[in-house]
Amino acid sequence: MAKKVALMQGNEACAHGAMYAGCTFFGGYPITPSTEVAEVLSNELPKVGGKFIQMEDEIAAMASVLGASLTGAKVLTATSGPGVSLKQELIGYACIAEIPCVIINVMRGGPSTGMPTGPGQSDVQQAKWGTHGDHATIALVPASVQEIFTETVRAFNLAEKYRMPVQVLYDEIVGHMRERIEFPEAGELEVINRTLPSVPPEQYKPYDTSFGDVPPLAAFGSGYRFHVTGLNKAQDGFPTTKAEYVDAEERRQVRKVEGEVARVQIESNEEYLTEDAEVLVFAYGSTSRSARYAVNELRKEGIKAGLFRPITLWPFPEKRISALGKQVKAIIVPEMNLGQMNLEVERVVKGSCPVISIGRVDGEPLNPGQIIAQVKEVK
């Protein structure tokens, strides 16, 4: 049977990806350029008995999804940079209390209100370091309408599997662009649900590490009574200031994502013509599309350019970028900000090759010509 196809906007694909993943609760607040995600879900969720609520502000939207997630729902909120700035408080809460949730950030420029209808990639470091305190981050950066669908599904899977907030960041270009999308059949993409406790309620501890680095999460109202707090806590969920408990919990919460095994499961990258590349372009989101065009043009001229495109941006693909840094003569990092991921590439290659930033923050897309010119300069 032929697959169901459509011409669809990135934001719409995101909403349909959420439905595919089994999202049953959306809490949001209107903000350009992400609003279509909310609009589509306000239409789709009640059809399956799900809940849509438009809250009084961005913080409340984040709070509502966390409350809903604790009752066992798969939850989503969608916003843009200014909204994520406000949500940071409760993204931190979701990190420490380990509450699964997905946050869509359709990126525009900044700081502050910036250019609401223009594209940007200005939140890639905010995604990692926006909330205070040490914590692990998972952030995905799809580059096409199809990929927004599949990465939204994967974001839910990762949120449920690792019991934490997962951010999906895509720029306004991908969010508002219309492309052909093929809808996966039911069962075609993996859908993961959180691990529920296997012990009876009287033995349940919400941060019990005897089940590994990701403790099972019971639902409020399912017969399990437990305490959830934003304070540092022990494995039983109650606040503690005991140094050894606090240290163990903090380290576990970072390790559950940044540990060797987890990284392999979470990281996702695409490499294009990198095998023999002498100049590497590191690009993500819509910028990676310009970069791919640039690489093709350069190859026609006999210049060995290649593209590394992270699909998981955080945790950062440290090992692979470190290896490529030793292989190539230079890494070019085009992005719609003034070099945010360039810093991370620099940190990881540790001086083994020059790392050159191409930043653009004027509300216009980064075009292939800029990348081609820069590659030729280093060649």
Q: Applying CB under 8 A, which residues contact other proteins? A: 24-25, 27, 43, 46-47, 49, 51, 53, 55-57, 59-60, 63-73, 75, 89-90, 93, 220-231, 238-239
57 or 301: CB nearest other proteins: 57
Q: How far is the CB of 52 from other proteins (least distance, A)?
A: 8
96 or 294: CB nearest other proteins: 96
**Contact at 8 Å (CB) between 217 and 194?**
yes
Beta 178-182 vs 279-282: how paired, if at all?
unpaired
Q: How far is the CB of 234 from other proteins (least distance, A)?
A: 13
**Contact at 8 Å (CB) between 153 and 187?**
no
Residue 359 dihedral angles phi and psi, to the nearest 5°: -105, 145
Q: How far is the CB of 360 from other proteins (least distance, A)?
A: 36
212 or 221: CB nearest other proteins: 221
Q: How far is the CB of 53 from other proteins (least distance, A)?
A: 6
59 or 189: CB nearest other proteins: 59
Partners of 358 in the β-ladder: 334
Q: How far, in Å, CA of 40 to CA of 215, rounded?
A: 33
Structure tokens at 248: 């163990």
Q: How far is the CB of 221 from other proteins (least distance, A)?
A: 5
Q: How far, in Å, CA of 243 to CA of 182, rounded?
A: 52
Task: Report which residue type is found at 233.
Answer: K
Please report, in angstroms and rounded to a whole number, the separation of the first and last CA atoms in the chain.
49
51 or 320: CB nearest other proteins: 51
Q: How far is the CB of 183 from other proteins (least distance, A)?
A: 20
Residue 202 dihedral angles phi and psi, to the nearest 5°: -70, -15
Q: Can the peptide bond before residue 111 be classed as cis, meaning omega within 30 degrees of 0?
A: yes
Sign of CA dihedral 331, 336, 338, 342: negative
51 or 255: CB nearest other proteins: 51
Q: How far is the CB of 148 from other proteins (least distance, A)?
A: 24
Q: How far is the CB of 204 from other proteins (least distance, A)?
A: 12
Is 215 strand, coil or helix? coil
225 or 329: CB nearest other proteins: 225
Rounded (10°) CA dihedral 41, 29, 192, 160: -170
60 or 148: CB nearest other proteins: 60
Q: How far is the CB of 126 from other proteins (least distance, A)?
A: 19
Q: How far, in Å, CA of 216 to CA of 197, rounded?
A: 5
Partners of 239 in the β-ladder: 233
**Contact at 8 Å (CB) between 202 and 178?**
no
101 or 173: CB nearest other proteins: 101
**Contact at 8 Å (CB) between 80 and 112?**
no
